[in-house]
Chains A and B, each alone.
Chain A
Amino acid sequence: MANKSLQHSSLTDNIFYRSMLAGNDAYFPEFESDDFLEEVVLSSSASSVTFSGLASYATAGYKHLQIRAISRTDRGSFSDNVSITINGNSGANYSWHYLFSNSSSPISSGSTSQNAMSGMFTAGSTAAANAFGSLVADFLDFNNSSTNTTMRALSGYNDPANTGRIALGSGLFVNTSAVSSIAIAPRFGTNYVTGSRFSLYGSKG
């Protein structure tokens, strides 16, 4: 974010500003080179959603990927977890950790040698009607073939009768292969319900 001008400054406005940022554009959260790549909106229930052929995005110059999802599963509970696997690998090659809350004290937990990344939440079938969970997950340097793949996520949903969940999480795929596909599935439920949406974005920044 470059300093732009004295559009609003103590010198020009004769007002005492408390911040050196006065006169700058409002903060922009991401790289301006971020693009929408593709998405899946479920017109019928589905057990998983997979984004494949990701190497083509690396060829196009994208360095990082982001998945933005709004979803609900058929698990017979108000809550479900999200599982993410990479390159079709279902071996015990994943670790994840999270800080989460369900209205009692924040809890920190995690697991290693798992078959998928988890530690992300969404709504289950007994959550309030029309309530969905949200997920924003970043896959950094996804085409790097000399480092393991890391992911960070913010996820959660709210259902006052059952308090809801909020989680700040991270995941690790202990494999140095470039990421060519990402699959998302309910961890406990069988299917994502109709109307769930999964959007993929790329960043060249």
Chain B
Amino acid sequence: MTAKYTVIDSQVLATSAASVTFSSIPGGYKDLVLVTDTITVSGAAAYYTRFNSDTGSNYSTVGMYGNGTSGVSNNTTANYFDLQGFAIASTSRSLVLMNIMDYSATDKHKTVLTRANRPDSSVYGGAGRWANTNAITSIAVSASSNFAAGSTFRLLGVN
């Protein structure tokens, strides 16, 4: 049997950083799974993901999140994927798991399914589409406040 996951790259921040990029992502997997476990240096921050350094307004997302009081939905198109109101923070670690389906297909726009959890605050689910048929070869993860040391980033290939 073939193992489901292959670790393509794993990074644990020794010092704070504004972004982390996985580059030269090889083809040959069916899907990718991006898993991050992050905390900010200070305050709440938006969390962004971008493919192939594409800064065009080609990222559309429909999402929902709950904060313990109410449920909120959003539908946005922007020049990155974000978590639409769900904020990572310095007060609690945030786990984000993004399924990136058929990432190397050249006949499909790229669909992502994302779940995010911040135990002290909120939970999020979203579906996104990168309106581009190019194979994904790089993924950049950033935040509006630096990721603190100890934040972890892992990219898995799904065989």
Q: Could you list which residues of chain A lie within 8 angstroms of chain B, going by C-beta atoms?
A: 8, 13, 15, 17-19, 21-30, 32, 34-37, 39, 60, 68, 70, 99-106, 128, 130-134, 136, 154-160, 163-168, 195, 197, 199, 201-203
Contacts and interface: CB of A to CB of B under 8 A. Distances in A.
Given A103-B62, A158-B128, A136 B99 contact: yes
A106 B70 CA distance: 9
Contact of A70 (B95, B111, B133): B111
A34 B156 CA distance: 13
B45 to A, nearest CB: 14
Nearest to A60: B1
Nearest to B158: A68
Given A158-B127, A199-B30, A13 B14 contact: yes
B150 A130 contact: no
A85 B152 CA distance: 39
A199 B102 CA distance: 11
Interface string B74-116: 1101000000000000100101010101100101110111010
B55 to A, nearest CB: 18
Given A15-B15, A32-B3, 5 more contacts: A18-B149, A27-B152, A156-B62, A164-B60, A164-B129
Given A27-B154, A68-B101, A128 B39 contact: no
